[in-house]
Chains A and B, each alone.
Chain A
């Protein structure tokens, strides 16, 4: 027999009750003669204050019985197991849950990062083209539309990758009047070059950059990145919050790093086949390395450190080879003026 405090869930008024176990039910009684029975199936254990046993009823919200903790052993038979970690985990146990969860999580993450690499080559180019043209369109006013310059730009792509700008899977190259030193491959075989990448380099170095971007397109790295982003990226960001976003970036970057290394190797091979010296490209990377000193280790960066890339390109220089300029003088001039206001009018 224990003295307890009963809240009936109708008012906040506490009733002093005597509590005893009666078969498979809990018997409550009061000095005035009132008594009640609660079947064990309805009883729920609820987290109560330190040193108390707090019970609720499944069929009456707000019904609460507060007992001293000493009552717990005697009532144990009626109460069943206490919910601790959540129903699913309680059922299998904490350690098995951790192990199963760990394996499932690791598999999902691994699959999410590795699978795009296998799937990307099988995504039909026509789908990717549709996505690409939906996103990119015709670039509107951003695009530099000088016909002679555009022709020279395409000519440069043809130099590093003959036939690249023709056929159903043609690479569509555009120069954009955006004041940032960059070039990028986009879904659907689009490659964009920003204005400073044209005006602040010579056409040999630009050929190196373009070869790198062409390699990204041909190896379906763009598709791969898109798949990865849509799959595991969205999943992790959804559930794991900020912490997850950082974790995701880490792995995502280490993967694109592998892609970048592949694209660099391809670019070096393309330059060699085209008979274009890799030295200007190496010089460009050396310059970039100086302009933006990189403190973090290479592991954390999506682009391999510029200094390291410069070495790779420089090492591929063959002193005996007969290198030719990437573009003749006229075409190089036309390319230089592709985005200039004077040439556009």
Chain B
């Protein structure tokens, strides 16, 4: 009866597996899409809850499936609360800003806009923290849930501070800022009595960031130099050809090089982040390469195009399956020590994250 008390990942079988299938998910995807359309979008909260109930239940961790207990109703009310908080704020700025501009007080309008953005960035960080906390509090395994006792107000401040520092250095220190924020977020989270511990650093990420940072700058400089050279040469004949090449180069840069470099950065970021994070004796790994991420996104895109948009309802499914299939869990967990979480389950759902359109992880 206690045979699964201790579990080691070296046994060959994967500790975390996705067991869903797209056929099984089809009725959920189809009815969700229909109901969202027929309710002017209001149903999307219930749709998200149904989607997660399915995806979590088809995710097997060691000897039990995950379970999602969040409801559409609580997400809907969470959203309404956030709208009630934010709507006056937005309306105020929407009218104040043009009113100041129309009176020729551009400096005052600029100042107000600056304050507005500060508040937005703070709330964006807060939102991300709360979304993670909410999701953990509604995720169960072995009848135990996760959560956090940290309300996230301080995290919002840290997020704002590190964002400001990043901005002031023209985002050169972005890898440091973003890895520290990952740690701050996850170190506040727990599952049952076990606390998440993360010590992610920028080691191994700097090179990829430098590439993403430098290549567009170098490319733009080259274009400028070539353009200037062309202007000085003033050869009347081949100028249009040169312009054409320049145009293609710029297109390639923005639609191929920059997205690929961004994926290249995020692939390494997620691999390192998973490796740096622990839960008790459990360690994590993530093995998706840049090309596999590219495959996921191109697949999503192709699916949407081929199905005339219906495929978008499968994006959440595909993304979750991708994450689980590339995730590894190592080490052991003492089930006897895994007692119920004592954290407060937040009553409001991820309304802020929803409003700011940010993910949780």
**B340 / chain A contacts, CB cutoff of 8 Å:** 9-11, 61-62
B 12-36 binary contact with A (CB < 8 Å = 1; else 0): 0000000110001000000100110
Contact with A along B44-73 (1 / 0, CB 8 A): 101001100110111010011101110011
B102 touches A89 (CB 8 A): no
- B83 with A238: CB separation less than 8 A: yes
Q: State whether the Cβ of A49 lies closer than 8 Å to any Cβ in chain B.
A: yes
- Min CB gap A53→B, angstroms: 12
Please indicate the chain B residues that have their CB under 8 angstroms from the CB of A13 in the complex.
Answer: 142, 335-336, 338
Question: Is there contact, CB below 8 Å, between A139 and B104?
Answer: yes
Contact B143 A64 (CB under 8 A): yes
Q: Which of A52, A62, A66, A105 has the most CB of B within 10 A?
A: A62
Distance (Å) between the CB of B229 and the closest chain A CB? Answer: 31
CA distance A54 to B49 in the complex (A): 17
A18 within 8 A of B: no
Interface string of B294-324 (1 = CB under 8 A from A): 0000000000000000000000000000000
Interface residues on B, range: 35 or more
In this complex, how many residues of chain A approach chain B with their Cβ under 8 Å: the count is: 53
Contact with B along A2-15 (1 / 0, CB 8 A): 00000111111111
Give 1 or 0 for each of A58-75: 1 = CB within 8 Å of chain B CB.
000111101000000000
Query: A50 — which chain B residues lie within 8 A by C-beta?
Result: 19-20, 24, 58
Cβ–Cβ < 8 Å partners of B98 in chain A: 135
Q: How far is the CA of A49 from the CA of B53 in the complex (A)?
A: 10
Instruction: Tell which of B24, B340, B357 has the most Cβ of chain A within 10 Å.
Output: B340
A123 contact set on B, CB distance < 8 A: none
Q: In angstroms, how far is the closest chain A Cβ from the Cβ of B155?
A: 25
Decide: A101 and B143 in contact? CB cutoff 8 A: no
Partner of A94, one of B1, B31, B72, B339: B31
A-B contact count (CB 8 A): 142
- Contact call B144/A12, Cβ cutoff below 8 A: yes
Asked if A12 and B19 sit within 8 Å, CB to CB, the answer is: no
Residues 7 to 55 of chain A near chain B (Cβ within 8 Å): 7-16, 46-50, 52, 54
Contact of B65 among A48, A89, A98, A142 (CB under 8 A): A48
Determine if A239 and B41 form an interchain contact, defined as CB atoms under 8 angstroms apart.
Answer: yes
Task: List, in ascending order, chain A residues with CB within 8 A of B53's CB.
Answer: 47
User: Which A residue's beta carbon lies closest to that of B338?
Assistant: A12
Distance in angstroms between the alpha carbons of A104 and B43 in the assembled complex: 13
List residues of A (217-273) whose CB comes within 8 Å of B's CBs.
235-236, 238-241, 243-244
| A240 and B103 within 8 A (CB) | no
Query: Which one of A11, A61, A102 lies within 8 Å of B38 (CB-CB)?
Result: A102
What CA separation (Å) do A87 and B105 show in the bound complex?
Answer: 53
- Determine if A142 and B102 form an interchain contact, defined as CB atoms under 8 angstroms apart: yes
Q: Which residues of B contact A85 (CB under 8 A)?
A: 31, 35, 46, 50
B192 at the A interface (CB under 8 A): yes
- Assess whether B339 is in contact with A10, with CB atoms less than 8 Å apart: yes
The interface residues of chain B lying within 8 Å CB-to-CB of A61 are: 145, 340
Whether A97 is near chain B, meaning CB under 8 Å from some CB there, is yes
Q: Which among A15, A64, A86 has the greatest number of chain B C-beta atoms within 10 A?
A: A86
**Is there an interface contact between B142 and A7, defined as CB atoms closer than 8 Å?**
yes
Pair B143/A135 contact, Cβ less than 8 Å = no
Tell whether, in the assembled complex, residue A47 and residue B1 are in contact, meaning their CB atoms are under 8 Å apart. Answer: no
What B residues does A105 contact at CB under 8 A? Answer: 38-40
Q: Does A137 contact B (CB under 8 A)?
A: yes
Query: Which residues of chain B are near A9, meaning CB under 8 Å?
Result: 143-144, 340
Residues in A neighbouring B57, C-beta threshold 8 A:
47-49, 54
- List of B residues within 8 angstroms of A46 by Cβ: 67, 69
Contacts A7-B142, A49-B58, A85-B46 given; does A134 touch B99 at CB 8 Å: yes
Q: How near does chain A come to B282, taking the closest CB pair, in angstroms?
A: 13
Q: How far is the CB of B116 from chain A (nearest CB, A)?
A: 17
A49 touches B338 (CB 8 A): no
- Which parts of B84-115 form the interface with A (CB within 8 Å)? 95, 98-99, 102-105
Give, as a whole number of angstroms, the nearest-CB distance from A10 to chain B: 6
**Ordered nearest first, which 8 A-B pairs have the shortest CB separation?**
A140-B104, A7-B143, A12-B338, A240-B41, A12-B142, A101-B38, A49-B65, A239-B41
Contacts from A to B (Cβ < 8 Å): 7-16, 46-50, 52, 54, 61-64, 66, 85-87, 89, 94, 97-98, 101-102, 104-105, 108-109, 134-143, 235-236, 238-241, 243-244
With A7-B144, A9-B143 already in contact, 17 other A-B pairs whose C-beta atoms are closer than 8 Å: A10-B339, A10-B340, A13-B338, A14-B63, A46-B67, A49-B60, A52-B65, A62-B140, A101-B39, A134-B99, A135-B95, A135-B99, A139-B102, A141-B104, A142-B102, A238-B83, A241-B41
Q: List 20 A-B contacts (CB under 8 A).
A: A11-B335, A11-B338, A11-B339, A12-B141, A13-B338, A16-B1, A47-B68, A50-B24, A50-B58, A61-B340, A85-B35, A86-B43, A86-B73, A98-B38, A105-B39, A139-B103, A140-B105, A235-B40, A236-B41, A244-B41
Binding site for A on B (CB under 8 A): 1, 4, 19-20, 24, 31, 34-35, 38-44, 46, 49-50, 53-54, 56-58, 60, 63-65, 67-69, 72-73, 83, 95, 98-99, 102-105, 140-145, 192, 335-336, 338-340, 357
